[in-house]
């Protein structure tokens, strides 16, 4: 007979030894606390890039100048129509809308809710994000319906020599 039970408590990590289920004591109080500390660590690490990006923005990235870029010819865009383009980067899709003879507006067309593309609806005279029916005012880019809370970032446009150029990005105020 082994001497296992002669010592009290015998040398076993499992002090609730009358329980024999698998993994019964795997997540005990200490294990749970370890998990929580680990989660706090994950939060801390994942905050760092945001802090760095914000610091970069504070250091003048916000005033960045972009080279002007031709969007379309005036003759190719009838009043009330819209055309998609990319500005300032190749992957920053945007939309240009001609509202009247001389008035053009352009916005970054990623919905400020979940970044679905925003479309121009000629009949309703408003911009629609079809994902969750967010709507934006075409004059200001401000949200007028649906889940988005922030306005679409505006793009400055200029008409020169019968063509429309994108010249800059307005950093929107919220």
Partner 1 sequence: MKRSYIPVALLLAVLMLNIIFTQYMVHQYFYEHYTKTIIAAIINVILFPIAFLIYKKGVNVND
| Site residues, partner 1 (CB under 8 A) | 15, 29-30, 32-34, 36-37, 39-41, 43-44, 46-48, 50-51, 53-55, 57-58, 62, 112, 150, 171-174
Judged by DSSP in three states, 61 sits in helix
Least distance to partner 1, CB of residue 114, Å: 12
User: Closest approach of Cβ 163 to partner 1, in Å?
Assistant: 31
Q: How big is the CA angle at 161 (ends 137 and 77), to the nearest 5 degrees?
A: 40
Nearer to partner 1, 47 or 125 (CB): 47
Three-state DSSP state, 168: strand
State in angstroms the smallest separation of the CB of 75 from partner 1. 37
Nearer to partner 1, 96 or 151 (CB): 151
- Cα–Cα distance, 30 to 36 (Å, whole number): 10
Round to whole Å and give the CA distance between 127 and 118. 6
Nearer to partner 1 among residue 10 and residue 32 (C-beta): 32
Q: Which DSSP helix (H) or strand (E) runs through 49?
A: helix 29-58
For residue 36, give the H/E element and its range: helix 29-58
- Say if residue 96 is exposed, middle or buried (CB neighbours under 10 Å; 0-12, 13-18, 19+): buried
Q: Which is nearer to partner 1, 36 or 145 (CB)?
A: 36
Nearer of residues 50 and 78 to partner 1, judged by Cβ: 50
Minimum separation from the CB atom of position 5 to partner 1 (A): 19
Q: Minimum Å distance from CB 47 to partner 1?
A: 4
């Amino acid at each position: 007979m082994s001497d296992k039970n002669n010592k009290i408590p015998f040398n076993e990590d499992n002090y609730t030894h009358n329980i024999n289920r698998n993994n019964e004591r795997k997540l005990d109080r200490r294990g749970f606390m370890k998990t929580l500390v680990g989660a706090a660590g994950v939060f801390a690490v994942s905050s760092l890039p945001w802090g760095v990006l914000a610091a970069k923005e504070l250091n003048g990235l916000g005033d960045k100048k972009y080279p002007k870029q031709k969007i379309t010819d005036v003759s190719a865009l009838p009043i009330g129509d819209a055309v998609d383009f990319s500005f300032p980067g190749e992957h920053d899709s945007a939309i240009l809308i001609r509202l009247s003879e001389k008035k053009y507006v352009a916005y970054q067309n990623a919905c400020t809710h979940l970044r679905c593309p925003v479309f121009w609806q000629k009949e309703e005279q408003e911009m629609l994000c079809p994902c969750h029916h967010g709507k934006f005012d075409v004059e200001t880019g401000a949200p007028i319906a649906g889940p988005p809370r922030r306005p679409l970032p505006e793009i400055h446009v200029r008409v020169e020599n019968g063509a429309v150029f994108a010249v800059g990005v307005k950093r929107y105020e919220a």
